[in-house]
A and B are shown apart, each in its own frame.
Chain A
C-alpha cells in the first residue's frame, strides 16, 4: 500500500513540477516577447492565456493525413513527455528528498536526452507529409551533433562527485558550485538544452522556414500535446541543469525546494530571452560549431574538472 502511495505521490509531484515549470516558461516567454517587441505586458491576460489555449485545443478536432502512421503520431508526444518526466523524476529537491535516486541517474538522464531524437523523428515521420518529414531529418542532424558535447558537459559534473548519482552530484557542490568550478559546462549544457527542447535559436525541426516542421500537420489536442511535451522537456532540462551546475537545493536561508525553483526559473528565463534575442542558427552552422567548437571545449572542460581532483 505504501509503495503504491509513494509511487502516486511521486507521479503527482513530477507532473506538478512539469506543469508549474511550463506555466513559468510561458510567462517568461511572453514577458521577453513583450520587452523585445516594445509592446505592453498584460499580466492578467497572460495568466489565463495558457488555460484558454488548452481549452480551445480540447474543443478542436484532431485531423488526419493521407496514410499516416497513426500509432507513431499518438506515441511521439507521449514519448517526449514521458522522457521529460523521467528526467524530472531524478531531481533532488532537498537533502534526502528526491522522487527517484538510481545510482546511475546521470546515465538515465543522458539516455532520456538521447531518446528525444526518436520522439522528434517519429513525430515528423508519422504524418507522411513533406514538411514534417523534413523537420525530422533536420533533428537527426542536430541530435547527432549535440550528443557528444552534452555527454561530456554532464560527465564533468560527475567527476567531482565521483558518482553517477544526481543526488551525489548536488552534494559534491557544497564547497563550490559546478558553474564556477567548470565555467564552460553550463553554457554548453544550455546550448544543447535549447536543441533538446526544440526552442528558439535551435528550434530547427519545428522552424518557421518549414511552416512548423514536424508539427505542420498537427491540429487540436495533438498540437497542444506536442507543445506541452516540448515545454516539459525544456523545463526538465532547466531543472536538471540547476542541479548539475547551480548546486540544486544548496543555498542559505531558504528551504531547498525554493532554491531549486528559483534556480530553475533563472535558467528558464535565460532560455525565454534567448528565444527572442537570438536568431535561429542555420543547420550547417550549428552542426559545424557543435563538432568543431563544442566537442573540443567540452573535452577541455572535462580536463579542467579532472585537474581539480588531482
Chain B
C-alpha cells in the first residue's frame, strides 16, 4: 500500500515554486510548458524550490525564508551560471540548460523516500518574543498598530464609507507571484483598498546584464526584423503572464507557446488569440476602467503601449529613417486604462510580425534611444524605472485586484532596468 502511494505520488507533476533571479525571467516562464512540471504561486504548494539566476546577498535571507516555507519533504534546484552556496544541498543545473529533468528527479526521489528532505535554513523561532495576550495574541501592550517585531498588526484608520476600518500594513515581495521578482512593496490595506503604497526595494543583482536585443540596439544597428520579432514575443510573453493573473491559465499557455516561437508568418495566429481573449469578456469584466488622472500620468511617461493606449503617438521608432522607409506608423489606442493597453499590446504584436516580414535586411539607423516593448529606452533611463516612479500614485486608492492588474499592465522589467542603470538600483534599495 505504502509503495503504491509512493509510486502514484512520484508520477504526479513536480510542483515548483520558482525564484526568478536576474537574467532568468523568461527561462522560468518557459518552464510552464515543460512536461511533468507545474509552477505554483505559493511556496506552500510546492515540492521543489527552483532558485534561478543571479541574486544579491541582500536577497539571500528572503530566499531562505521562501525555502523554509516549503512543506516537507522538499528539495531545491539551483539554476545558475556558477555553483554557489545560497541553498546548501541544492542540485545545480547550469542556466541555459533545461532543469526540468533535475526537478522531476528530485520530486520522484522525495516521493519514494530515497532523498532526505532539506532541513530549514533559518532558525524556526519568533523574530521577537510574543507579547500578545490570550490564545490569539493581539491586544497586549506594544502589540497593536504598525509592525511590532516584524508582525503586521492592524491599526486604526480614518473613516471610509462611514465605517471605521482596521488598517493592515503588509509587505509584498521580493519573490511574490504577483510582482516581478526583486520588487518589494510596502502596502497599507484598508478593507480591500490600498491606502498607502511605497516601493521598498527593486532590482535583483547590482551587476545585472541583459542580453536583450533592445539594449544591443542602443549601441549598434540591429536588424529591424529581429527587433520586431523580439517585440512581438515580448508582448506575447507579457500577455501570458497577465492572463494567468486573471485566472485564464489555458489561454495563458497558448499565448506563451506562441510567444516562444512567433515568426512573421504567425500574425494570423496572434490575431486569433487576441479575438479569443476579447471573447472571454476580460476587457469588460476583469480590468479596471480607465481613470482620467491615471491616464494623464501614463500619457506623459513614454511607457510604450501604456502611453499609446491613451492616444498619445509617442514612439521612438518614428524618429528612425529605417523604420520610416518601411512605412512605420505607431498604433494608437483611445481612452487609456489597462484594457486599452492589453488590446494595444496584442495589436502591436500583430503589427510587429507584419513589419518583421517586410523588414528584410534593413537595420535600425538610430542608436542611443530605442523603443523597447515597454517604452523609450536609453542609457541610464529605462521605462521600468519611470513606471516604478509612477507606481505608488497609480495604485493608491485602488482595490487589491485592480492594483495587481495595473501593476501587471506596466510590464516592469527589472533586468532591463538593471542593465541600463547599472549600480543605481542597488543604491535605491540601500
A280–B73 CB distance below 8 A: no
Output the residue of B71, B73, B280, B288 with the most chain A CB within 10 A: B71
A257 interface contact, C-beta 8 A: no
A279–B11 CB distance below 8 A: no
Given contacts A130-B168, A279-B282, contact A208 B11 (CB under 8 A): no
A48 interface contact, C-beta 8 A: yes
Bound CA span A277–B405, Å: 19
**Minimal beta-carbon separation of A99 from chain B (angstroms):** 30
A276–B250 CB distance below 8 A: yes
Chain B 151-195 interface 0/1 with A at a Cβ cutoff of 8 Å (1 = within): 110000000000000001010000011100000000001011000
B285–A209 CB distance below 8 A: no
**Which A residues are CB-close (under 8 A) to B71?**
60-63, 219-220
Stretch in A3-11, A50-58, A183-191 touching the partner:
A50-58
**Which B residues are CB-close (under 8 A) to A203?**
247
What bracket does the count of chain B residues touching chain A fall in?
A: 35 or more
B8–A33 CB distance below 8 A: no
**Which B residues are CB-close (under 8 A) to A218?**
44-45
Residues of A53-80 contacting chain B, CB below 8 A:
53-56, 58-63, 66-67, 69
Given contacts A52-B8, A67-B136, A211-B41, contact A282 B250 (CB under 8 A): no
Residues of A276-310 contacting chain B, CB below 8 A:
276-285
B257–A38 CB distance below 8 A: yes
**Which B residues are CB-close (under 8 A) to A69?**
136
**Minimal beta-carbon separation of B13 from chain A (angstroms):** 8
**Minimal beta-carbon separation of A160 from chain B (angstroms):** 33
**Which B residues are CB-close (under 8 A) to A171?**
none
**Minimal beta-carbon separation of B271 from chain A (angstroms):** 15
**Which B residues are CB-close (under 8 A) to A55?**
5-6, 8-9, 12, 111
User: By the criterion of a CB under 8 Å from any partner CB, how many residues of chain A are at the interface?
Assistant: 59
A223 interface contact, C-beta 8 A: yes
Q: How many A-B residue pairs have CB under 8 A?
A: 159
Which residue from chain B places its CB closest to the CB of A33 in the assembled complex? B250
Residues of B188-205 contacting chain A, CB below 8 A:
189, 191-192
**Minimal beta-carbon separation of A85 from chain B (angstroms):** 25
Residues of B50-73 contacting chain A, CB below 8 A:
69-73
4 interchain residue pairs of minimum CB distance: A55-B8, A279-B282, A52-B12, A219-B71
Q: Residues on A close to B: CB < 8 A?
A: 32-39, 48-49, 51-56, 58-63, 66-67, 69, 128, 130, 133-134, 137-138, 141, 200-201, 203-204, 207-212, 216-220, 223, 275-285
Other than A48-B11, A134-B400, give 11 A-B pairs with Cβ distance below 8 A.
A37-B253, A56-B111, A200-B247, A210-B178, A210-B401, A211-B176, A218-B44, A220-B71, A278-B285, A280-B248, A281-B286
24 A–B contacts, CB within 8 A, in A order: A36-B251, A38-B254, A49-B12, A55-B9, A60-B73, A61-B71, A62-B71, A63-B44, A208-B41, A208-B177, A208-B247, A209-B246, A210-B401, A211-B42, A212-B41, A212-B42, A217-B44, A276-B250, A278-B285, A279-B247, A279-B248, A280-B285, A281-B286, A282-B399
